[in-house]
Structure 1
Amino acid sequence: MNIGKIHSIESMGLVDGPGIRVVVFFQGCNLRCSYCHNPDTWVCAGGEEITPQELIKKIVRFKPYFTKAGGGVTFSGGDPLLQPDFLIEISKLCKDNGIHTTLDTSGFGIGRYEEILQYTDLILFDIKHIDREKYRELTARDIDESLKFLETAQKMNKKMWIRHVVVPGITDSEEHIQALTEMIKGLKNVEKVELLPYHLLGVNKYETMGMKYRLEGVPPMDKKLVKEWENKINEEIKLTRH
């Protein structure tokens, strides 16, 4: 039997794709991002065990609410790509029930990307860093797997929203933002870009779990400046479409 491991489910998500969404947070992530505010999702062995059939029943229960608002379901994490068999089966069930599917991922999975994306309407693609060495410093992993996923998504012409966390001293330079803009302009089907200001909301989890927080002392990012950069990137993307 196909069993998934789920960290949690949010029934009224408003920031994880279009409309009102049921957000299913998968357990397990191979990246170790310095700023991660959900380190409790890292370990693949945790989470609640559930079958695709049990999960679709939970999702369908909220269908009258999110359908009216142009919403659907978002698979997030952790990273859903680490449970490809379960992700494919639950995505198929969602499509059978006429539910819009969004995949929130950094692209760091274990393969079967084409099959997964057959049942995906929108990708929220999290760009950690665009520089190979700095990507590894930030995530403790190599960038290649993420690029492999991105290449597959491009080949399949999948709609994407780009997300990128802006961290003081790491991803907040004018040079980095411009290089990021040029990289995004080279991608197809990017509907919009969301720049997320670094915050300290998850730091207490590290204390509770007895883990060292690698960005200790780094202040929150200026939200106003991040919004200005976000608007500028989105304007440049619009210009490239015409």
Structure 2
Amino acid sequence: MTVSGGEPLAHFDYLFHLLSLARKEKIHTCVETSGYASFEHIRALIPLVSLWLWDFKASEADHRRLTGVEAERIRGNLRKLDACGAPLVLRCPWIPEINDSSAYSEELLEISAELKSVRRIEIEPYQPLGEDKYKRLGRPLLCEAKFPSKKASGDYLKFLQNRTNIPVVEG
């Protein structure tokens, strides 16, 4: 069972209850999170979560501009969770001209080399699936991103695969 959202950790009491019930039934559980939460909540969930799907969205320099929050808390929580030995997958949106900087790639490679519990890195090439919905609702797009070509996605995967021992796959 995968719990995603919005941000599931924003609903801690409900999430704790749901995951407790799943654990009693021996259901494999995943939590997909940005990691922007109190570590006390994350720590309480560790025995209930089989796998953490952790978003790694942007370089520290760009994180606030792109997400509205600083990366420091998220990266700190990621390191603490890793120190607890919790199994992790880093999920990395890759959006040309938005977060495809060398700083993003270098920080991803640095932190993945530092962490011991990362099972794999999933690169999530930008999918403009919500753009039509925003237009129909008369809302402005959050960004003017481009859909990456297959070649660009493949080249980026190879670049990362050649620089880490952790499996890197397209999500």
Q: Into which bin does the TM-score normalised by the smaller protein fall?
A: 0.7 to 0.9
Q: Secondary structure at the match of 2:59?
A: coil
Query: How far apart are the structure 2 equivalents of 1:137 and 1:168?
Result: 16
Structure 1 or 2: larger helix share?
2
The CA deviation at 1:224 is: 3.1
Please tell me whether the aligned partners of residues 195 and 227 of structure 1 are also in contact (alpha carbons under 8 angstroms).
no
Query: Which runs of 5 or more structure 1 residues have no equivalent in the other structure?
Result: 1-72
CA shift digits 1:46-81 (9 cap, x unpaired): xxxxxxxxxxxxxxxxxxxxxxxxxxx001111110
- Give the match for residue 227 of structure 1: 154
1:136-193 residue CA offsets vs partner (Å, 9 max, x unmatched): 1111122233124213311211111111111111222445323421221111111111
Matched, 1:153 2:81: yes
Distance 2:21 2:87 in 1: 20
Report if the CA contact (8 A) 1:113-1:152 is conserved: no
Aligned residues with identical type, % of pairs: 27
State the aligned residue count: 165
Unpaired segments ≥5 residues, structure 2: 167-171
Given the superposition, is the C-alpha separation of residues 185 and 85 from structure 1 closer, same or farther in structure 2, using an over 3 Å criterion?
Answer: same
**Deviation above 3 Å: which 4+ runs of structure 1?**
173-176, 234-237
Partner of 2:169: none
- Name the SS of the counterpart of 1:100 in structure 2: coil
* Shift in alpha-carbon separation, 1:220–1:77, aligned structure 2, 3 A: same
When the two chains are superposed, the root-mean-square deviation of aligned CA atoms in Å is 2.0
Residue 204 of structure 1 deviates from its aligned partner by 1.9
TM-score between both structures, scaled by the size of structure 2: 0.85
Q: Which amino acid aligns with 1:237?
A: T
Q: How does 1:30-109 map to 2 (within 5 A)?
A: 73-109=1-37
Indicate which of 127, 130, 145 corresponds to 1:202: 130
Aligned: 1:119 with 2:57: no
Give TM-score, length-normalised by structure 1: 0.62
